[in-house]
Amino acid sequence: MRGPKRTSELGDGRPSGRLSGSALTLPPRFVSAASSATMSDKPDMAEIEKFDKSKLKKTETQEKNPLPSKETIE
């Protein structure tokens, strides 16, 4: 007896892979694309390193909706 049939996420009825025990095996074309990292996958830290925090404006923040005190609740 064969295991359950897996269909693609697009719902086109084509099998997306095979069940091997409890794990899903993907065709090789999906495995190689998923395991290789490209430069766009890695963050560009150059801009962060150049950031000058001293150029930010100083602001005073106020609580818009302050929480009630413990005495008010009781």
Amino acid at 38: T
Q: What Rg do the C-alpha atoms of the chain give, in angstroms?
A: 27
pLDDT digits (tens, 9 = 90+) for 33-66: 555 556 667 778 888 889 999 999 999 988 888 8
pLDDT digits (tens, 9 = 90+) for 1-39: 555 555 545 555 555 555 555 566 766 665 555 555 566
pLDDT confidence of residue 47: 86
pLDDT confidence of residue 65: 87
Look-up of token digits 């005495």: 71
**Residue 9 DSSP SS3:** coil
Contact 15, 27 (CB under 8 A): no
What does residue 30 show for φ and ψ, rounded to 5 degrees?
-80, -35
